[in-house]
């Protein structure tokens, strides 16, 4: 007997037929002698629909009321899933996040889980029931309903798995595992049998949509074994996310990610004096605009150029902020380019390896792809290039081929 947490995303519970299919798989897991906790998202498209409804009422909806609204989507899924299990003769009970004491901070629409009281979950499991819990939501210290932001159901599932000491947390989604690259971009991408927490966290943070970054972070902290599997083909083996020491690092690069939600900001002709960078990035930080890659050119005639990347959705605000600083910064020109894409190569095997960057850059050169920006860390190399579908596919395929990722198992 094992204690298993299973999470099903919105496409997995999109309609009654999908809910019934999911319930059959849950029932099979339970009848095999396992204790099962299920976390579900709102039906596919429902969160977007609720958001659009709110925006027709108010251009800037109150965050508390948005959480009250958006949390209703998951309640539909948990009730229907519990009903479907009961129809199969499997005892089941559904709970919202607040009902099982998923405590969060008070940051509405982007709350973070701070504690879970597992007593109620444990009691229902001991009574032989499948416990079905709403993902994406919790309750703060003021007893206000909160939501965790997009992808929050993954984090809910992993946090519950940590709280109850589950043997594995299975994330069921519309893909059958973690691939070396997006198969829609790189047709010969290979599904990975295992990937480390660090590698998965980097890929998730850099644009891979399989797992939410926060869920991987929680899994790493609490040593929760993760499995990514398909909810449409449940018999297919997926990908396990494990500790680095459980892997044999035969390859320097494990996978590629691409992020289209990127804009490049360039500030030309900035005076070379102390405090310029602090002024630029403090102003952006005060408006909650996160900065990723930062490049400063060598000084020429006492002037520098500064370039950095931000989320494309922040580009208009960032440009306005910097234009308002022109008198104090004294720059010559500012340019914002949102027609770019960030491509990242990730691999724990990069540590101590030689020539990884050279190999990647040579592959892009041979493919005729120009690099705008470069950023590196111990386990990743990221580049920003001009975006169009052909350029992206050409670049991704060239890097994938250069590191022979089609041979990874």
Mean pLDDT of successive 10-residue stretches along the chain, which has 409 residues = 94 95 96 97 94 93 95 97 98 97 92 94 97 96 93 94 96 88 92 90 85 91 92 81 70 90 92 87 90 82 87 90 90 92 91 87 96 89 94 96 88
Can you give the pLDDT at residue 299? 65
Number of neighbouring beta carbons within 10 Å of residue 15: 12
Pick from 198, 205, 257, 209: which is nearest to 400 by CA? Answer: 257
Q: Where do the H-state alpha helices sit in 110-254?
A: 119-126, 152-164, 197-205, 213-222
pLDDT value for 59: 87
Which pLDDT score is estimated for 250? Answer: 67
| Distance from the first to the final alpha carbon of the chain | 29
The residues near 307 (Cβ < 8 Å, ≥ 6 apart) are 264, 265, 266, 267, 294, 295, 296, 372, 373
Contact 121, 160 (CB under 8 A): yes
The whole-number pLDDT of residue 288 equals: 82
Degrees, nearest 5: CA angle 216-217-219: 60
Using CA atoms, how far apart are residues 226 and 289, in angstroms rounded to an integer? 31
| Site of tokens 């499948």 | 130
Q: Where are the alpha helices (DSSP H) in 36-142?
A: 46-57, 63-70, 72-87, 119-126
Q: What integer pLDDT is reported at residue 208 of this predicted model?
A: 80
3-state secondary structure at position 28: helix
- Predicted TM-score (pTM) of this structure: 0.82
Residue matched to tokens 């929680």: 218
d(CA 125, CA 92): 9
Query: If 0-12 CB within 10 Å is exposed, 13-18 middle and 19+ buried, where does residue 158 land?
Result: buried
- For residue 43, the Cα-to-chain-centroid distance in whole angstroms is 19
pLDDT of res. 348 = 82
Residue-level pLDDT at 296: 84
In this prediction, residue 273 carries a pLDDT of 83
Find the helix or strand (DSSP H, E) in which 269 lies.
strand 262-271
Q: Where are the alpha helices (DSSP H) in 58-118?
A: 63-70, 72-87
Would you say 395 and 364 are in contact if contact means Cβ atoms under 8 Å apart? yes
How many other CB atoms sit within 10 Å of the CB of residue 88? 16
**Residue that the structure tokens 């496409």 belong to:** 11
Q: What is the pLDDT of residue 247?
A: 59
């Amino acid at each position: 007997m094992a204690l298993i947490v299973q999470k099903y995303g919105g496409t997995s519970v999109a309609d009654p037929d999908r809910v019934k299919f999911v319930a059959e798989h849950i029932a099979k897991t339970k009848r095999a002698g396992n204790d099962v906790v299920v976390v579900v998202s709102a039906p596919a498209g429902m969160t977007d629909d609720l958001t659009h409804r709110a925006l027709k009422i108010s251009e800037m909806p109150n965050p508390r009321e948005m959480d009250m609204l958006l949390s209703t989507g998951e309640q539909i899924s948990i009730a229907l899933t519990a009903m479907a299990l009961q129809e199969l003769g499997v005892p089941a009970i559904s709970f919202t996040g607040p009902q099982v004491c998923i405590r969060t901070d008070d940051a509405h629409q982007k709350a973070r889980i701070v504690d879970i009281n597992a007593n109620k979950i444990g009691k229902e499991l001991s009574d032989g029931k499948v416990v079905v819990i709403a993902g994406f939501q919790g309750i703060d210290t003021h007893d206000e309903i909160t939501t965790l932001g997009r992808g929050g159901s993954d984090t809910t599932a992993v946090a519950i798995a940590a709280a109850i000491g589950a043997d594995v947390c299975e994330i069921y989604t519309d893909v059958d595992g973690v691939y070396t690259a997006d198969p829609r971009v790189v047709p010969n991408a290979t599904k990975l049998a295992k990937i480390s927490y660090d590698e998965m966290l980097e890929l998730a943070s850099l644009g891979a949509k399989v797992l939410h970054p926060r869920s991987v972070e929680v899994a790493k902290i609490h040593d929760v074994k993760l499995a990514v599997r398909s909810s449409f083909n449940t018999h297919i083996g997926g990908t396990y996310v494990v500790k680095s020491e459980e892997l044999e690092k035969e390859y320097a690069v494990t996978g590629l990610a691409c992020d289209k939600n990127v804009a490049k900001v360039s500030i030309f002709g900035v005076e070379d004096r102390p405090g310029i960078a602090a002024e630029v990035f403090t102003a952006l930080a005060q408006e909650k605009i996160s900065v990723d890659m930062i490049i400063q050119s060598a000084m020429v005639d006492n002037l520098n150029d500064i370039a950095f990347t931000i989320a494309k959705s922040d580009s208009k605000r960032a440009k306005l902020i910097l234009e308002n600083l022109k008198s104090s910064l004294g720059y010559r020109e500012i340019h914002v380019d949102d027609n770019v894409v960030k491509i990242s190569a990730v691999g724990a095997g990069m540590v101590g390896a030689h020539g990884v960057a050279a190999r990647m850059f040579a592959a892009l050169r041979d493919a005729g792809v120009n690099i705008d920006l470069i950023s590196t860390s111990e386990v990743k190399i990221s580049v920003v290039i001009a975006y169009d579908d052909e350029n992206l596919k050409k670049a991704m395929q060239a890097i994938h081929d250069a590191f022979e990722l089609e041979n990874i198992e």
